[in-house]
Copies of this chain bind each other. A is one copy, B any other.
Amino acid sequence: MTENRQTRAELAEEITERIRPFVPATEEYQKTLTEAMAYSVFNGGKRVRPMLLLLTYRALGGDRAAEATLVDPFLAAIEMIHCYSLVHDDLPAMDNDRFRRGILTTHAKFGHAMGILAGDGLLNAAFEAALSAREPAGCEGRILAAMRILARRAGAFGMVGGQTVDVEKTGQPMTEEELVFVYRLKTGALLAAAMQVGAVLAGAPAETIDAVGEIAERVGLAFQIQDDILDVVSTTEELGKPVGSDEKNHKTTYVTLHGMRESRETEERLSEEALAILENISGGGDKEPLAELITSLVGRTV
């Protein structure tokens, strides 16, 4: 377990360096913007989404030689989309969080207007990064196909849609259906995009891309249930943000609806199902690192 963790931290560090060239930087007049954008990305993030993308690409036999030109732009794209969503979620008009991962949030450090603009800049830069990808001969069409998945799952029918309902329901009880809708879209959609983009870039056939979607759906829900569990059992120091905030905000979570024991059981079942589907995919690459990542995501403590 300790060895696994170390490996994940190292891979996160490697991914951070691989996405760095795609995050805009300038000494021109708009310097504050690019500083705020970089601050939002290089803040000790765990890089879960690009990691899922990369390990799915490798599990499905993606060409290692093409990673730098074809995959790295998408690692940056998905991480910048994730980061922009956090920056905007933290804004005073939304969750109004001044701290994340133990440091000031972007708007708390750079001001509200810059928080809005840094988020906008990151979402835009995500697409710029993806558009800088280059397809090896024989792989034509993969960039557009991957971008279509990414854009769809990040937008009104994906992450932004889920965030909308989460915001609208703040302080109100949610039904199970509403809660699962939010989880599926707000968190699940981008995790699914990560894995499916990895599959598309690796050249996987349509049924494999669908199967990867099935895995991602379970991982996404389990991931979110784990978030709810951690909000109850973790400490502020471990989590880097206030714990018990769900209860404080009278928020419906999987734990408030189903209790701790059932939540843990559901999480375990989803994780096992995800691993079973992965087992059945004939990938052409090493599936073990992806399986380990999925396991560690569900069992994580921060």
Contact = CB atoms under 8 A, between A and B. Distances in A.
Contact of A128 (B30, B121, B132, B151): B151
| Oligomeric state, in copies | 2
Interface in A80-112: 84, 88, 91-94, 111-112
| Most chain B beta-carbon contacts within 10 A, residue among A111, A113, A119, A165 | A113
B94 A116 contact: yes
Interface residues of A, number: 54
Nearest to A124: B155
Contact of A155 (B115, B121, B181): B121
Contact of A124 (B37, B154, B178): B154
A125 B157 CA distance: 10
A117 interface: yes
A155 B32 contact: no
A270 to B, nearest CB: 22
Interface stretch (A21-29, A209-217, A228-236, A276-284): A21-29
A29 B161 CA distance: 8
Contacts of A114: 164, 167
Given A128-B152, A143-B144, A154-B124, A160 B26 contact: no
A151 B132 CA distance: 11
B123 A123 contact: yes
Interface of A: 24, 26, 28-30, 32-34, 37, 84, 88, 91-94, 111-117, 119-121, 123-125, 127-128, 131-132, 140, 143-144, 147-148, 151-152, 154-157, 160-165, 167-168, 178, 181, 185
